Amino acid sequence: MAEPTTNIPATKPSFIPHQVKEEKVLSPWMEAWQSFRKNKAALFGLGLVIFFILLAIFADFLAPYGFKEQNMANKHLSPSAAHWFGTDEFGRDILSRIIYGARISLTVGFGAVAGSVVFGSGLGILAGYYGKWVDGIISRCFDILLAFPSILLAIAIVAMLGPSLRNALIAIAIINVPTFGRLVRSRVLSVKEEEYIVAARAIGMKDNRILIHHVLPNSMAPIIVQGSLAIATAIIEAAALGFLGLGAQPPSPEWGKMLADSKDFIINAPWTVFFPGIAIVLTVLGFNLIGDGLRDALDPRMKN
């Protein structure tokens, strides 16, 4: 006698793994860039900075006149089709001088901050990582430099070295070293206690490799933010030194020097002061907006 068969209905699985969509994982830097792109103010600042960088790069093609080209018959001409920003007391085209001046201001800004970052970060890493007497000596040097007002210290350094654009760049770099040094030192003090640093020491990794491959990369975020803000400060300091006659020397079209040369004509020829001043304001504004955007993008505490 055959056993009765029972028809067991097929049941569908409650979950069918069909085309599971994997979420794309972004690197920290790509995530920061995505966050930066959402900041309209930061993008506006980036646009301003790119604009002035392009002016500096293509100044030879964009400037309608040479920055040293004089014509005393055309001195203090108001803005017109021939001279969009007018002319100065020597008949030089102000627009051309502002375009060429972008090279000087950006060179000083980037050059001074690059020097500050290299020396300040290097000293800060040594002070934070090794501590003890190394930290004591370096930190006291930072305290001495920070005890003086920055612009007065820059004036003193340039006065000793001699008025020139190169010496102004050196002075601005020196006065910004403590800022980066103390910033990096505080970062290194927290990073060096992380487990991966302890593990690297445990396996016998040398200090120079730990500093270069682990400590420095994990300290880059605050350096980048402070660097973008420091460029704006460096441009202002270069303009201040130029205004005092301690920076770029004539006939160099440095924006601060242009303001100093035109201060006596602010009533009769206000355009000679207005346009160089606007160039400084817009450039500094651009770097400040970029710095704020980078801070929001790179600081985990600013993220939702």
Q: pLDDT per residue over 76-106, tens digit each?
A: 888 988 889 989 888 899 999 999 999 998 9
Contact between 228 and 283 under an 8 Å Cβ cutoff? The reply is no
Predicted confidence at residue 283, as pLDDT, reads: 93
Whole-number percent of the chain with pLDDT over 70: 88
Contact between 233 and 154 under an 8 Å Cβ cutoff? The reply is no
Amino acid at 67: F
Asked if residue 70 has pLDDT above 60, the reply is yes
Predicted confidence at residue 24, as pLDDT, reads: 60
φ/ψ of 93, rounded to 5, equals -70, 120
Predicted confidence at residue 42, as pLDDT, reads: 85
φ/ψ of 87, rounded to 5, equals -130, 165
Asked if residue 182 has pLDDT above 70, the reply is yes
Structure-token pair, residue 16: 């069918």
Predicted confidence at residue 35, as pLDDT, reads: 74
Q: Give the start-to-end residue ranges of the domains of the chain.
A: 78-302
Q: Mean pLDDT score of the chain, rounded to an integer?
A: 83
Residues sharing a CB contact under 8 Å with residue 255, sequence separation 6 or more, in sequence order: 98, 101, 104, 105, 239, 242, 276, 277, 279, 280
Predicted confidence at residue 295, as pLDDT, reads: 80
Task: Report angle CA 277, 54, 220 to the nearest 5 degrees.
Answer: 90
Q: How far, rounded to the nearest angstrom, does the alpha carbon of residue 172 sit from its chain's CA centroid?
A: 14
Q: pLDDT per residue over 232-248, tens digit each?
A: 899 999 888 888 888 88
The three-class DSSP label of residue 203 is: coil
CATH class of the structural domain 78-302: mainly alpha
